[in-house]
Amino acid sequence: MDKNTIAGFGLLMLLLVGYILYNQNADSKFKQQKISDSIANVKLHPPVPKKADSSIIQANANGIDSSVAQVIPEQLLTLENEDLKLEFTNKGAFARSAELKKFKTHNGKPLMLFNGEKNYFDFGFKSTTGSMVHTQAQLFEGTLSADKKSLTFKNNDFSIVYTLPEKGYLLKIDASPLTADRSQSVTMDWNAESIMTEHDPVNQKLYTQVCYNLESEGYDYFTIKEKKDIDFKESVKWLSFKQQYFNTTLIADQKIITSGKVNAAPSNADTALHTLSDFKASLVMAPQNTLNMTMFLGPNDYKLLKSYKNDLEEIIPLSYGIFGFVKYINKWIVIPIFNLLAGLFSSYGIVILLLTFIIRLIMSPFTYKSYVSSAKMKALKPELDELKAKLGDDQQAYGVEQMKLYRQAGVNPLGGCLPALLQLPVFFALLSFFPNAIELRQSSFLWAKDLSTYDSIFNLPFTIPFYGDHVSLFTILFVITSLLMALYSTNMAATDQNNPMMKYLPFIMPIMFLGIFNKLPASLTYYYFVSNAITLGLQFVIQNYIIDPVKIHAQIQAKKNEPPKENKLMKRMAEMQQQNAERMKKGK
């Protein structure tokens, strides 16, 4: 393996390690908030009085005497369809729990998208009498329609109607501030918290985000690694509180949300409550007779979200940072092929296997060129060894003669590096796709019980730094095949055996992969293992049955007698080698 190829390989691996560590580093930032945050949280959400007094207190806050409060006690009303079950309370007229009926948590329990008193809506407005009204402090009379598709809450100041279709995850919201001063804006406070639903809370935290789509600036997001505030200075098309595989998204109609502020932070609640993060949005709405909104409460299903308007599919992170362009590889190549195969095969393990073969087939022209370049370099090894023996330790002179030989033979020393660079976008595209594919959630294959999280054949009673507390077999297989590829490449290429670093560098990264990939989803490590196995097979077939080293060597020798083709890159490299050699001589 020549120095340029190894340098390129090392650069690619450093990019890989930096990318993965950047994402995994999120776990270290999920620390508890300061005591002041806890105090502020208690002040914001004071303990609810006993039920015996709650109706009276909240009724009096709304100017209703206790006798009326007894007429309108606390009510819990349910609105549901075949996909979604929502439980509403008439104290504030909001949904305090949402169950996704077709999904379960990692331990088989009902999957609650949110649940508890910290999840609420609070509409605020100035009435025509000049007083401030907040719906969270009011009692409402709740009425379920005859067809049980809509639920109406109403009192003297406010009316809100929730409508749920027979199936699906869209909840229609029509809110009417009855006594509002129409010259004043209406505010809406939306509070929510995420609940642990997945096997690996670290990954669930990593993918818990706030996503939003603004009228002018478009889509953006931030991950809830630490407490963060953000202000919206323009109309908000939609605002989403996204978990790893599910989301709650508020979609505004007719630009009614004119501005707002979002506060999000890792939860400082007791971990026994299984809450991961807190979310609060304070939105300002244009004064209207009826505020029309829609709320999506469901899975991060790319096909489903894409069927709606306003680019809701952007909620699913198919790329990150400087590799943002790879989302188009996922959108136009990976996802269509994956969906096609999923429609033909029930096992997602088989789907991933076939997807790997198809991707490798697409990349095969670049792979073949890489193997041909490697074979040519090996064919030149005897002559390079002669140059080495002739010039001894004069590295500068050796470099100059080496470049001359490459030019005469028509060999590009970067031929093994450039194909790898061209494959890099596909690598990062899949690194984004597999951890976000909800289809793989709780899908088993071989020993992996859930392809959306790491596979474990043995749980350790302790944690090994940089490795973890479990043993992932797919990761081990991936590392073994990576080591075999490094060994095969080293044996096939012309490597400087006098340089230990160059000799052992290809084996360093596979060992590092053992720790880096141990907590990645089994679907991803399985894909890389299969891809490596295919590569080894292709290397063996191409090197032994397609590429003829003797024929290649004869072609190289024939090219020596021909005028070398002008190659600006090779010419420039040779000139740099010559200039460097002359400077070294003058320095002596």
Q: Is residue 65 a contact partner of residue 59, using CB atoms and an 8 Å limit?
A: yes
Per the listing, tokens 């009673």 go with 461
- Taking residue 389's Cβ as centre, other Cβ atoms within 10 Å add up to 8
Q: Are residues 373 and 331 in the same domain?
A: yes
Please answer whether residues 274 and 195 qualify as being in contact, where contact means their C-beta atoms are separated by less than 8 angstroms. Answer: yes
Percent of all residues in the chain with a pLDDT value above 70, rounded to a whole number? 74
Residue 273 above 80 pLDDT? Answer: no
End position of a domain, from candidates 317, 344, 362: 317
Does the residue 357 lie in any domain?
A: yes
Same-domain check for residues 484 and 439: yes
Among 286, 317, 348, residue at a domain's last position: 317
Element (H, E) at 461: strand 458-464
Does residue 467 belong to any structural domain of this protein?
yes
Please give the Cα distance from 522 to 445 (Å, whole number): 9
> Where would I find the beta strands (DSSP E) of 84-185?
84-89, 94-104, 110-115, 120-126, 132-134, 141-144, 150-154, 158-163, 170-177
CA-based radius of gyration for the chain: 31
**What is the pLDDT, as a whole number, of residue 52?**
36
Q: pTM score, two decimals?
A: 0.77
| Residue 37: predicted pLDDT | 43
Q: What is the pLDDT of residue 11?
A: 54
Which of residues 282, 317, 352 is at a domain's end? 317
Angstrom distances, CA of residue 553 to CA of 236, 378, 478: 65, 9, 34
Domain tally for the chain?
2
Sign of the dihedral defined by the CA atoms of residues 85, 88, 93, 94, in that order: negative
Are the C-beta atoms of 404 and 574 separated by less than 8 Å?
yes
Both 344 and 307 in one domain: the answer is no
pLDDT confidence tier of residue 561, bands split at 50, 70 and 90:
low
- Measured CA to CA, the distance from residue 208 to residue 223 in angstroms comes to 6
Looking at this protein, which amino acid is placed at residue 308? Y
Q: Rounded mean pLDDT of 93-112?
A: 94
Most confident region among 15-19, 107-111, 205-209, 536-540 by mean pLDDT? 107-111
Calculate mean pLDDT across residues 532-551.
78
Q: Tell me the average pLDDT across 68-89.
A: 82
> Which range has the worst mean pLDDT, 117-131, 170-184, 389-403?
389-403
Would 383 be classed as within a structural domain? yes
- Look up residue 386 and give its amino acid: E
Q: How many CB atoms lie within 10 A of CB 202?
A: 15
Whether 361 and 482 map to the same domain: the answer is: yes
* CA angle (201 as vertex; 451, 209 as ends), nearest 5: 95
Burial class from Cβ neighbours inside 10 Å (0-12, 13-18, 19+) for residue 186 reads: buried
| Residue with tokens 């979604």, as numbered in its chain | 84
Q: Please report the beta strands in 203-306, taking only residues with DSSP state E, as ranges in sequence order.
A: 209-214, 218-223, 228-232, 236-242, 246-252, 257-266, 275-285, 291-299
Q: Inter-axis angle of helices 418-433 and 3-24, to 10 degrees?
A: 20
Q: Residue written as tokens 């209207």?
A: 288
More confident residue, 492 or 572: 572
Dist CA 275 CA 36 (whole Å): 19
Q: What's the pLDDT score for residue 570?
A: 55
The reply to whether 303 and 344 lie within a common domain is no
Q: Are residues 374 and 496 in the same domain?
A: yes
Question: In terms of domains, do 341 and 256 share one?
Answer: no
Q: Is residue 81 part of a domain?
A: yes
Are 555 and 513 members of one domain? yes
Structure tokens at 322: 């400087």
- Per-residue model confidence (pLDDT) at position 69: 41
Q: Are 298 and 246 in contact (CB under 8 A)?
A: yes
Q: Between 64 and 298, whose confidence is greater?
A: 298
H helical segments located in 62-190: 66-71
Whether the CB-CB separation of 243 and 251 falls below 8 Å is answered with: no
Name the residue range of residue 545's domain.
327-587
Cα–Cα distance measured from residue 444 to residue 507, given in angstroms and rounded to the nearest whole number:
32
73: pLDDT confidence band, cut at 50, 70 and 90?
confident
Whether residues 245 and 377 share a domain: the answer is no
Burial class (CB in 10 A: 0-12, 13-18, 19+), 102: exposed
pLDDT digits (tens, 9 = 90+) for 275-291: 889 999 999 998 888 99
Report the candidate in 109, 94, 199, 100 with the shortest Cα–Cα distance to residue 153: 94
Residue 345 pLDDT level (bands cut at 50, 70, 90): very high
Greater pLDDT, 571 or 152:
152
Q: DSSP readout, 357-389?
A: HHHHHHHHHHHHHHHHHHHHHHHTHHHHHHHHH
CATH number for the domain spanning 187: value is 2.70.98.90
Cα 412 from Cα 403, distance rounded (Å): 10
Q: How far is CA 444 from the centre of its chain?
A: 21
What lies within 8 Å, CB to CB, of 188 at 6+ separation is 121, 122, 123, 124, 281, 282, 283, 285, 291
Q: For all residues of the chain together, what is the average pLDDT?
A: 80
Residue 394 reports pLDDT greater than 80: no
Q: Judge contact between 8 and 421, C-beta under 8 A.
A: yes
User: What residues pair up with 195 in beta bridges, in sequence order?
Assistant: 275
Question: In this model, does residue 543 exceed pLDDT 90?
Answer: no
Q: Are residues 384 and 262 in the same domain?
A: no
**Cβ atoms < 10 Å from Cβ of 183:** 8
323 token code pair: 């590799």
